[in-house]
Amino acid sequence: MDNPWLSLDYLRRNGAEVWDQLVIHATLTLEAVLIAVVIALPLAALVHRSPRLSGTIMGLTGVLYTIPSFALFALLAPFTGIGRTTVLVGLVAYALLVLVRNTVVGLAGVDPDVVDAARGLGYTRTRMLVAVELPNALPSIIAGLRIATVSTVALVTVGVVVGYGGLGQLMFRGMQSNYRAQITTSALLCLALALVLDLAIVALGRRLTPWTRERRARRGGRAARPAGAAGAAA
């Protein structure tokens, strides 16, 4: 007996449409996250350099994040129209809070001795930010990027309310017609896309922060040494 929730026949008959919506979903996610990163990094640097602005910037991004996605897309529609632009603006707004907050935390956690050493070498504030503080804050930034990307994959589906939801379009139509295979296929592809992007960001983070692996290796070596010494003594 065929499983109504999982159907290869559905993919064979609708493969082109599924692929098109998957590409829309992926490109919209990547565009939104990249734009959010471009906006978030200067905002976080501004908060780091001018703490008095922290309340205003973090409060604004926090308010945007608390607006329900359906409501935000509906509120944007009269100004940005129905379609891609509205969804993109909404997704960027939601990603900002996570990215700004994680970047600020990362910048605040940079070792003061490293900052003092750079200052002693005559680094300007801009050079110190770009060459010292941001690289050292990368682990926290990468963590925020992972959260923002995965949540954006999920939020793209809500774009169906303004007619541009990627895989959400298939999911919504499947719910309307009770076509279970269409619902399951679009849901599984959303999960797969989120997983692939998350793994890609993890790999990028490891590539950009090789020193974190070296630190973990040194800690592991120090932890193993007493056990080895105890064994030798026995």
| The pLDDT of residue 224 is above 60 | no
Who wins on pLDDT, 44 or 226? 44
Please provide the average confidence, as pLDDT, over all residues in the chain.
86
Q: What is the pLDDT of residue 215?
A: 59
Q: What is the pLDDT of residue 233?
A: 40
Q: What is the pLDDT of residue 69?
A: 86
Per-residue model confidence as pLDDT tens digits over 42-100: 999 999 988 888 889 999 989 888 888 888 888 898 888 888 999 999 999 999 999 99
CATH number for position 86 = 1.10.3720.10
164 is a domain residue? yes
35 is a domain residue? yes
| The pLDDT of residue 229 is above 50 | no
Q: What is the pLDDT of residue 218?
A: 62
| The pLDDT of residue 148 is above 60 | yes
Q: What is the pLDDT of residue 222?
A: 61
33 is a domain residue? yes
233 is a domain residue? no
User: Is the separation of the CB atoms in 95 and 32 below 8 Å?
Assistant: yes
| The pLDDT of residue 104 is above 50 | yes
For 15, the domain range is: 10-227
Per-residue model confidence as pLDDT tens digits over 22-35: 999 999 999 999 99
d(CA 102, CA 94): 14
Per-residue model confidence as pLDDT tens digits over 200-221: 999 999 998 887 666 566 665 5
Q: What is the pLDDT of residue 119?
A: 87
| The pLDDT of residue 230 is above 60 | no
40 is a domain residue? yes
| The pLDDT of residue 234 is above 60 | no
Q: pLDDT class for 232, splitting at 50, 70, 90?
A: very low
Q: What is the pLDDT of residue 5?
A: 72
Who wins on pLDDT, 223 or 160? 160
- Per the structure, the count of domains in the chain is 1
Q: pLDDT class for 228, splitting at 50, 70, 90?
A: very low
d(CA 62, CA 16): 39
**pTM for the full model?**
0.84
4 is a domain residue? no
Q: What is the pLDDT of residue 64?
A: 87
d(CA 212, CA 218): 10
| Residue-by-residue DSSP string for the chain | ---TT--HHHHHHHHHHHHHHHHHHHHHHHHHHHHHHHHHHHHHHHHHH-GGGHHHHHHHHHHHHHS-HHHHHHHHHHHH-SSHHHHHHHHHHHHHHHHHHHHHHHHHTS-HHHHHHHHHTT--HHHHIIIIIHHHHHHHHHHHHHHHHHHHHHHHGGGGGGT--THHHHHHHHHHHT-HHHHHHHHHHHHHHHHHHHHHHHHHHHHH-HHHHHHHHHHHHHHHHHHHHHHHH-
232 is a domain residue? no
1 is a domain residue? no
